[in-house]
Amino acid sequence: MAASTTHGRRSLPPLFLLCFLCLFSSTAVADDLHILLNLTATLETPKSNLFSSWTLNNPPCQFAGITCDVNGSVTEIDLSNQQLAGVFPLGSMCKLQKLEKLALGFNSFHGTTTGSLNGCVKLQYLDLGNNFFSGSVPDISSLHKLRYLYLNNSGFSAFPWSSLQNMTDLIVLSVGDNPFDRTPFPEEIGSLLKLKELYMSNCSIEGRISPVITNLTELESLELSHNSLTGELPKEIGNLVNLWRIEIYGNSLTGKFPLGFRNLTKLEYFDASMNYLEGDLSELRFLTNIVSLQLFKNRFSGEVPTEFGEFQRLVNLSLYTNMFNGSLPQKLGSWAKFNYIDISENFLTGPIPPEMCKQGTMMQLLMLQNNFSGEIPGAYANCSSLTRFRVSNNSLSGVVPAGIWGLPNVDMIDISLNELEGPITSDIKNAKALTQLLVGNNHLSGKLPEEISEAESLVKIDLSYNQFSGEIPVSVGELKSLSSLYVQYNMLSGAIPKSLGLCFSLSNLNMAHNSLSGEIPPSLGSLRTLNSLDLSNNELSGQIPSSLSSLRLSLLDLSDNRLTGPIPQSLSIEAYNGSFSGNPGLCSSTRISSFKQCSSHPGALKIVRTILIYFLIASVVLLTSLACFCCIKNREKDRDSKSREESWEVKSFHTLTFTEDEILDSIKQENLIGKGGSGNVYKAKLPSGRELAVKHILKADFSTQRSNLSTSPMLRKDCKSSREFESEVHALSSIRHVNVVKLYCSITSEDLSLLVYEYLPNGSLWDRLHSSGKSELNWRTRYWIAVGAAKGLEYLHHGCERPMIHRDVKSSNILLDELMKPRIADFGLAKILQAGRGVKDSTLVITGTPGYIAPEYGYTSRINEKSDVYSFGVVLMELVTGKRPIEPEYGQDTDIVSWVSSNLKCKESVMRLVDSRIAEDHTREQAVEVLRIAVLCTERLPSLRPTMRRVVQMLEEAERCGPVDIAIEKDGELGVEGGKS
């Protein structure tokens, strides 16, 4: 009995312990439940069913995104990519005592983190990447068991590098794409001996790459691109034999590849582009597993190693803008499914490797600006996968293989500036995707094929400086997208096809220096978008069609033909001086000094006699009236001694169909429609129903203007508003461009200056983008506004006889006509670039509008035409994002340029920049391409910005941009895979 009792008492402690453990376990589960339920109160999500399983009736293990251990304790939280927003309470997560994984990436969490993560001592996986946090990364120094740390593109501004010393089990460290404080390469990285993946791109690392990185012998992926790294690559980098990817582009690295680099035989993807590296590529001869090699924009020299021709996995090779010489390996690209090659802008010689499309997958062949010789290999005539074929500016010769003309997917054929021969064959009918045919400056010959009209996507054709003969095909009028046609300096004959009048997109037409005959087709006058027309040095006859008077041409040249008859009055203006010389049969009715006066009407003598009689009668009446006037004047002299008569000076730049009185009557408050950079703008509606815009630049108190009329000419030329007025008149009076606002005349007196423009009913681009109540602009309209405005600025910079800078480019100075076509306006700040001073010409006066002003103002107070490019880049950002240049959401002292740059982290963040009103996927992709151009335009250094001519080219190339592979490139620029375009 005693023994039994003793035995029963001894069994109680284990039973009690079991009960205690069960109670403790249930208590822990209950605690986890409340922690998670409290979490739902702080988070926002559009997914209504995301937390539907998170209820008191369910255990935490049944919650969506939650994983538990066998005891029901929460071990993993995975809420990544769930469109969550709000301020996440990180500290409270450490109350989940068994938590090993916390994945919150690809959401919209924002603000500074609350609480510390030091309590999460069992955490092995932490992902806070791709969010919008701010401030410093929370304290993580106690997370000794952490193996995976993803903080890339999280928004944090500082990282505790010293915390890494204790994380010796780390396998992945991804902290790139964050605006961290500038710091040298962190030495703590050297202690992470198990690290396999290191992503530290775009996170403000500067100085040399520390040699401690060579301790990471397990490292497989090293990404340090887009930082401020300098100096040479560590000599011991060859010890990292497990590397299969190295990305160090967009830094300022120097020197040669170190000895031992050849040991990286597992390397597949190597991008060291956009640095200052030099020397030859001999250390790369042994990297036989290379798939993609990107070394463009460096200072490499020497020959491309012959071993590259034996690389059996190589599919991408980009070596452009270096100093390579010698010939390319002839087997280059023949082994794998080769994708693209870009070795442009080097000093390479010899033949083009013939087998790069052997597998039928090559998309881009870019070899321009070298010294390649020989013929174009015939194999490329069958490379149907090609989208770009650019071999311009070389020494290629022989006949172009016929199949090249008919490649079905090619977007651009550029073989200009070579010594190529032969005709353009009828195969061109198969080139359905071809938008640009550039074959100028060769020895091509033969007739142009009628089938060229079947290449229906053509936008630009340049056949200039060749030996083409015969007539221009009538079928060219079927090319509805054709924007530019250049056929100058050939041997073409016959008439100019009337069908050209059907090419409604045509903006540039040059047929100079041929043997064209017959009359100028009146149908050309229907080309409302035509900007330049050069038909000089032909054998054209007949009269100049009056229909040409309706065109807004920046360039018109009909010189050296056999034209006869009167020059249309609206073309007899100073802007077209020299446009008609060499046509002795022409005459002028407006006394152009170089032309004879047109013959008078046969009844002119009778008319003159009648005029003389009326003149005598009028003289008698005038003398009588004058006597009466003198009497009245003497009586009113004391009472009205201060009255003066009004004297107006009217300068017309087009034929006028209105009087100054009709314009003056419109200057009243109810007609005010806007305020420009140098004056108010009024709407004038004439009795005929025609509408005009009148800019009023005040020189004196206009309220007294009508009661105190001036009889003197303009005297106060030294006042600021007078200078602005003269600047705008000077800038606009000689301009003829479809994308620059049309100035009809100026009206001036001592106290008043008026400019009379065409009226544009759709207001400004600013109004359309940013004012409530306006109809929304779809992407197609925005795109064509961008192209048109760019062409207007291109004309100002490069097309005027005396180039000019606008100095106040902004969306409110881009006006829209009834068809939503843009016009550059408000030239109150324009400055003519003085000839001979080139790009160094500048102005010392700070002008412009905040948000659009180029950064060089801050340190030089000087601008040139590249400052216009910067401002236009801001306008492009407005078009893509729908945002204003300055918004409170950007933060203090931050504008749209900085805001966009800070979001160029990954494809997802870039796509978020696009205006939500641009809905379709394919148009959003095109918008991203335009955003890339905007980023280039807003480079901080003016020398890195493209010219407006290049901007127009890039925008036109973007028109046919389909789905693109978005990449974050050098210096935070937005790029599209594929090398040069």
* Catalytic-labelled residue, pool 177, 462, 808, 915: 808
DSSP per-residue codes, 168-223: TT-SEEE--SS-PPPEEPPGGGGG-TT--EEE-TTS-EEEPPPGGGGG-TT--EEE
Q: At what angle do helices 865-881 and 779-794 cross, to 10 degrees?
A: 180
Tokens in use for 606? Answer: 């009778």
Give the CA-trace dihedral at 939, 944, 945, 946, to 10 degrees: -150
Separation of alpha carbons 734 and 479, rounded Å: 32
Report the binding-site residues for ATP: 695
Separation of alpha carbons 84 and 775, rounded Å: 32
Handedness of CA 392, 394, 395, 401 (dihedral sign): negative
* CB burial of residue 1 (10 Å; 0-12, 13-18, 19+): exposed
CA 492 to chain centre: 37
Separation of alpha carbons 822 and 793, rounded Å: 11
Q: At what angle do helices 948-958 and 921-937 cross, to 10 degrees?
A: 170
Q: Which of 50, 53, 54, 22 minimizes the C-alpha distance to 38?
A: 54
Tokens in use for 398? Answer: 């022989």
Q: 841 with 833: CB under 8 angstroms?
A: yes
Q: Which of 512, 541, 539, 509 minimizes the C-alpha distance to 527?
A: 509
| Helix, strand, coil % in the chain, rounded to nearest 5 | 30, 20, 50
Q: 775 with 784: CB under 8 angstroms?
A: no
In one-letter notation, the amino acid at residue 374 is: G
808 has catalytic annotation:
yes
- What b/e sequence results for 319-337 when a residue is b if at least 16 CB atoms lie within 10 Å of its CB, and e otherwise? bbbbebeebbbebbbbbbe
Separation of alpha carbons 703 and 699, rounded Å: 11
- What b/e sequence results for 169-203 when a residue is b if at least 16 CB atoms lie within 10 Å of its CB, and e otherwise? bbbbbbbbbbebeeeebbebbbbbeebebbbbbbb
* CB burial of residue 89 (10 Å; 0-12, 13-18, 19+): middle
Tokens in use for 521? Answer: 């087709």
Tokens in use for 794? Answer: 């291109």
Q: 746 with 755: CB under 8 angstroms?
A: yes
Catalytic residues: 808
